[in-house]
Amino acid sequence: MTRFALTVVRHGQTRLNKEKVIQGQGVDEPLSETGFKQAAAAGIFLNNVKFTHVFSSDLTRTKQTVHGILEKNKCCQHMTVKYDSRLRERKYGAEGKGLSELRAMAKEAGEECPGFTPPGGETLDQVKMRGIDFFEFLCQLIWKEADKKESCPLETPSNCLATSLAEIFPLGKSCASKFNSDSSAPELVASVLVVSHGAYMKSLFGYFLNDLECSLPETLSKSELTSVSANTGISLFIINFEKEREVKPTVQCVCMNLQEHLKEMTETC
């Protein structure tokens, strides 16, 4: 059994987010002033977390967000970010249009958002398959690296990875103990940061919940499960998996779309 932590963060606010204009993949808008502040706030919140891997969508708003986070991190400032197009936002086929226009297009076609796909857009199933492809790639990468290091000391001890997470996330004593090396659970072999997009994250989390039957914290409400993350919302999952692809990974959700770091900001979205 291989076990790792997966922290997923949505990018900061852009001008078009605020104006409710669809960006998708076709409009590569940079962060707004508020978006940069949100990224810095997320970085301060995560500044003691020891990440072993960092991945990001290759669009401008996610690139700027991940660098804003790493700039504040005490031990990962100089980590190499791996940009992956599989982490991009859904290709809507209606980029540059307002959300109200997309809803009108859907209504005219006799469908409802978000299931409606304009010509040239990605279906929800296609977005889901991109997410699964990236997740399976990530599991295999972590397993191969852990297998190579099995007979050697880790550069970052797994109990340090666990402790750095338990110090800031709302785990509670019973959950926090599961991260410690003296518990019956396998040790964490990696701590991965992923920066992506709202609709993409909702699709990936839906896969965790519906296909992998992810366990959830009792405090998570139904609306939190079905809503799109706020800008720089932070989610943490603990992944357990076997080498064999036939065995489904088990996923524990520690928190979803956390916004603690935004409390002191005067403008959120």
Binding residues for substrate: 10-17, 61, 89-92
Active site residue 218: no
Active site residue 197: no
The catalytically annotated residue of 11, 53, 197, 261 is 11
Eight-state DSSP code of residue 264: T
Residue with tokens 């599961």: 178
Query: Alpha-carbon distance 106 to 101, whole Å?
Result: 9
CB atoms under 10 Å from CB of 218, counted, come to 5
Instruction: List the binding residues.
Output: 10-17, 61, 89-92
Residue with tokens 């980590």: 79
Query: Alpha-carbon distance 82 to 195, whole Å?
Result: 10
Query: Alpha-carbon distance 243 to 233, whole Å?
Result: 31
Residue with tokens 């790792």: 4
Query: Alpha-carbon distance 237 to 12, whole Å?
Result: 21
- Looking at this protein, which amino acid is placed at residue 103? R
Query: Alpha-carbon distance 89 to 122, whole Å?
Result: 10
The vertex-90 CA angle with 233 and 111, nearest 5°, equals: 110
| Nearest one of 64, 189, 206 to 129, comparing CA atoms | 206
The catalytically annotated residue of 53, 89, 187, 261 is 89
Phi-psi region for residue 11, left (φ > 0), alpha (ψ -120 to 50) or beta? beta
The alpha-helical segments, DSSP class H, found in 117-249 are 124-148, 158-166, 172-177, 198-206, 222-226
Q: Which residues are designated catalytic?
A: 11, 89
